[in-house]
Structure 1
Amino acid sequence: MACCSSISPAFLHLRQNPAIKRSKSRTRFQPISSSLSDPFVLRLAETLEDSFSSDPSPSPSLPLQKLRETSSLSLLSKSWPSSKDEPFRFTDTSFLKSSQILPTSLPPSLSSSPSLPTDTHLPFLTLLDGHVITSLSNLSPLPSPVFVGPLSNAPSHLSTLLLDVLSQFPDGDLFWDLNGVGAPDIAVVYVPAGCRVETPLHLRFCSWEGTDSESKLLPVSNPRALVLVEEGGEIGIIEEYLGGDGEDKCYWANSVTEFVIRDGATVRHSYIQRQSSNASHIKWTFVQQGSSSTYELVETSTGGKLSRHNLHIQQLGSDTVTELSTFHLSGSNQTQDLHSRLVLDHPRGYSRQLHKCIVTHSSGHAVFDGNVQVNRLAQQTDAGQLTRSLLMVPRATVNVKPNLQIIADDVKCSHGAAISDLEEDQLFYFRARGIDLQTARNALIFSFGAEVTDRLPYEPLRKSVQSHLRDLLAAKGAIQ
């Protein structure tokens, strides 16, 4: 690297110096000049990699080793974000930096593990603080050609295949790289060519280790998952994040999920985030879509003091279908943030994005930054984007930035944004039919979010999420 000559003392990666003996393929972060990197970030990264020294498990697999190495090198150019950085202009992460961040235990104690609810009709894989726990999982309903489990248990031919697809994303930010350094393992879902999985797979990510709100300690976990669906394959993924040790515990879940969807394959992705009220939840979702593939996302996010979802979708072939539906609920001292980017480089792509949020408290905050980039070769693209926000009280805040970047000249694209309280003509419609004002408000508020939650493809999940939303809206005083 050309920049190495300016580092003093040099930051040397172990794979660049074979004279240094490896211990479980660990990467040692050496001090570097402050002009090139953020000392706080490097200390945090070293704390994460030091936590593996007490891990009794064998050395990491080659793909995981590669991920840690490339992530550690990428951190050289990353600093902690501030409001001066455009992607974090409206999202404050300084309280994370002021905390004493410590990795969660390796591995979590199963003797004190949570009793998680189960749906016996669905196969499920459980992760506690980023660790795949097979004893709390049930994968028996899956067809035999499908592999679901930790990367460390993947067959050798699959591990070699994953080596080529893992972390092929040059635009990840600091939190993407921190996950790459700190991920203890990778939950892998592999669907071979032509295989259709009829029953959705439930991935349950539980944040178990937490502290009280008065503590300066902040446990951090780095769960990571990779879903690879070969040509013509099909699967439904339910990705759910839960707080397992009390509703007000403090912790930080720094998550990454990658989807590689080959030609003609289909993924229906349901993402449910209901962490504890004092948690921090920062998540990356990176999707690669092959020709004639379909990716459908339905997201509901209600938990956390800070919830940030970075969603990046890359079109790798023509005739793709991409449908994104998200609903966020922000209450007292909550920030719900969605930053999405869809990059279209091939003809005849079809995409629709609907983002909706409700802010129920004057200290609540919601952020939406949605970018659709239609490049020169993406002719005959049909792309639509709409964001609607409902502010229930004075001084509630929402910052929205829907945007299209169109270079192709033969396209059909639209976008729009609306921010308001309940509309008087809608309330009048109900009251003119003998329905009292409070009942009318309740119906309009709940149906605002139901436009998204009704799209959840699995009925028991849909009923559970809608019941949870109704309880939250009542607890926040939005409905009675």
Structure 2
Amino acid sequence: MAAVSPFTYTPITRKNPLTPSFTTPSKSTPSKVKPTHFLPKIKALSDPFVLQIAESLEDSIPTSSNLQKLRDSSSESLLSVSWPSRKDESFRFTDTSFIKQSDIIPVSNLKKLDFYKNLSVSEDTLLLNLTIVDGFIVDSLSQLVGLPEGVFIGSLNSIESSELTKRVLEFLPSHEKGDLFWSLNGVGSPDLVVVYVPEGCKVEGLLHLRYVSSEGSDKGSKKLPVSNPRVLVVVEKGGEIGIVEEYMSGDGDADLSYWSNSVMEIVVAEEAKVSHSYIQTQSLNSAHIKWTSVRQEKSSTYELVEVSTGGKLSRHNVHMQQVGPDTITQLSTFHLSGSDQTQDLHSKIVLDHPRGYSRQLHKCIVAHSLGQAVFDGNVQVNRYAQQTDAGQLTRSLILEPRATVNVKPNLQIIADDVKCSHGAAIYDLEEDQLFYLRARGIDLQTARQSLIISFAAEVIARFPSSDLRKKVESHVKKLLNPPVPVEKSV
């Protein structure tokens, strides 16, 4: 009997024979199709688990001619990637087996109307609000009244202007080379949410993008529903907008299992400005993987303020590309691992032109013995980025003896006329600080809470509105209430 190759893979039978298969690259003309003698090599190099997820995602989404190019390029890239493991440098400290050991089920449609009884439109009539449930826009829970002329916020398929559609499609597919999860989103995203600000337009107030995960299995179940929201933000020359992204569970159940695999791409044109706030408070039994890719042109400004406290596995990949001189990039992030969670931030800032400016502040607290925090920050200053001023600082606070923090700050400098710095520190609460507060009549529990909250306050204070700051601070205080041993009376 002939020996069976260990690399043999039997492709999943497709429902629609006209739809491109993940076992071969999809091409528009027969002349570009790879010769058949290459197919066994492609199958051997492909990861059956990755292809199976991609197949199920493709079968679950509606067809869209506008997104087909993105889906084709994403599907082709999946042919040569495998599921990440600890052997991969970028996932050395991040265990993704929680996802791989689950039964991945794509969310293919919206829940019934009774689900939305737990949700409501924002009470603030001055706040622009867009609700995205499992990657689908829900108009009944959105509020987009009073948009300035030329501003568009909504689905790509609902754009009426052919010129605007053409402009948006210039950025699809993106030139960004993301990882496996980036490509899975490109294959499985049911729609593209577009935020477009025309030249010279300044949008007053904040745009609140509320992401809701409606599908979820009970704790302990192997089923893991996955959604793939995707947003493209284009701010033309001189335009300005403030965006708040908030990720949450639909019914507030902290035990539901699901996987949110999200992508946001931002294009900041010359002299434009984007203020970006990101809040992640999803279920503690969920997986949350997020890509934020930003392209900044000459004299533009991008600011990110992030607080992430949810998810059993939470990873944020942030990629900044300065493609013009006199560009400003500022990142301020705070991660909290208050349970047996992994909070992971992988950031990369690439400076290619003169007089670039970047500042990154990352803080994290691990308050559980099985909690973990990961920070991998890369600042790359290339040859022509002379007179660059780049700074990076990461500080971690460990509140339990067996908690884990892995930090990897990294500066890659090729230019010779630069001002760059980075620093990293990992520590517990200092006894002299506690003593100082207690000497002034403050009890031990209150002293600990004050020091912990003040550690996070430096990032929280950078949110653009007082209401947002109060909301986030209240949430963090609720999570950070560690038990303190009762002191014995003498």
TM-score greater than 0.5 by the shorter chain: yes
1:399 corresponds, among 406, 429, 433, to: 406
Q: 1:14 to 1:405 in 2, by over 3 A?
A: closer
Give the counterpart letter for 1:40 in structure 2.
F
* Matches of 2:221 and 2:327, distance apart in 1: 48
Mapped pair 1:87 → 2:90: yes
2:471 corresponds, among 458, 464, 468, to: 464
Deviations 1:6-31 (A, max 9, x none): x99971415244999xxxxxxxxx98
1:438 corresponds, among 432, 445, 454, to: 445
Mapped pair 1:11 → 2:18: no
Mapped pair 1:374 → 2:377: no
1:261 corresponds, among 247, 268, 285, to: 268
Q: Which runs of no fewer than 5 residues in structure 2 stay unpaired?
A: 1-8, 12-22, 34-38
TM-score (norm 2): 0.90
Q: Is the 8 A contact 1:372 1:403 kept in 2?
A: yes
Q: What pairs up with 1:326-341 in 2 under 5 angstroms? A: 326-341=333-348
| Matching residue of 1:221 | 227
Q: Is the 8 A contact 2:338 2:479 kept in 1?
A: no
| Matching residue of 1:139 | 144
* Matches of 2:319 and 2:25, distance apart in 1: 31
Mapped pair 1:243 → 2:246: no
Q: Is the 8 A contact 2:344 2:374 kept in 1?
A: yes
* Matches of 1:331 and 1:16, distance apart in 2: 53
Q: Is the 8 A contact 2:246 2:278 kept in 1?
A: yes
* Matches of 1:76 and 1:83, distance apart in 2: 21
Mapped pair 1:181 → 2:184: no
Deviating more after overlay: 459-468 vs 31-40: 31-40
Q: Is the 8 A contact 1:441 1:479 kept in 2?
A: no
| Matching residue of 1:49 | 58
* Matches of 1:466 and 1:343, distance apart in 2: 32
2:46 corresponds, among 6, 16, 37, to: 37
| Matching residue of 2:133 | 128
* Matches of 1:372 and 1:392, distance apart in 2: 29
TM superposition outliers: structure 1 runs of 4+ over 3 Å: 7-10, 16-20, 30-35, 476-480
Deviations 1:235-264 (A, max 9, x none): 000011011132210000000000000000
Shift of 1:357: 0.5
Q: Give me the CA root mean square deviation.
A: 2.2
Find the structure with the greater CA-based Rg: 2
Give the counterpart letter for 1:439 in structure 2.
T
Q: Which runs of no fewer than 5 residues in structure 1 stay unpaired?
A: 1-6, 21-29
1:107 corresponds, among 91, 106, 110, to: 110
Shift of 1:477: 4.0
Q: Is the 8 A contact 1:392 1:478 kept in 2?
A: no
Give the counterpart letter for 2:98 in structure 1.
F
| Matching residue of 1:408 | 415
Q: 1:435 to 1:395 in 2, by over 3 A?
A: same
Give the counterpart letter for 1:470 in structure 2.
K
* Matches of 2:137 and 2:199, distance apart in 1: 25
Shift of 1:442: 1.2
Deviations 1:417-443 (A, max 9, x none): 010001122223223333333222111
Q: Is the 8 A contact 2:25 2:75 kept in 1?
A: no
Deviations 1:174-214 (A, max 9, x none): 00000000000011100000000111100011011000012
Q: Is the 8 A contact 2:308 2:335 kept in 1?
A: yes
| Matching residue of 1:276 | 283
2:318 corresponds, among 300, 311, 324, to: 311
Q: Is the 8 A contact 1:314 1:344 kept in 2?
A: yes
Q: SS at 1:177's partner residue?
A: helix
Q: Is the 8 A contact 2:127 2:206 kept in 1?
A: yes
| Matching residue of 1:76 | 79
Number of corresponding residues: 459
Shift of 1:36: 1.9
* Matches of 2:256 and 2:357, distance apart in 1: 42
Deviating more after overlay: 262-271 vs 111-120: 111-120
| Matching residue of 1:151 | 156
* Matches of 2:298 and 2:83, distance apart in 1: 37
* Matches of 2:420 and 2:42, distance apart in 1: 46
TM-score (norm 1): 0.92
| Matching residue of 1:165 | 171
* Matches of 2:476 and 2:297, distance apart in 1: 35
Give the fraction of aligned pairs with identical amino acids, expressed as a percent.
64
Shift of 1:61: 3.8
Q: Is the 8 A contact 1:196 1:234 kept in 2?
A: yes
Deviating more after overlay: 378-387 vs 136-145: 136-145
Deviations 1:126-160 (A, max 9, x none): 10000011121000032132100011111321111
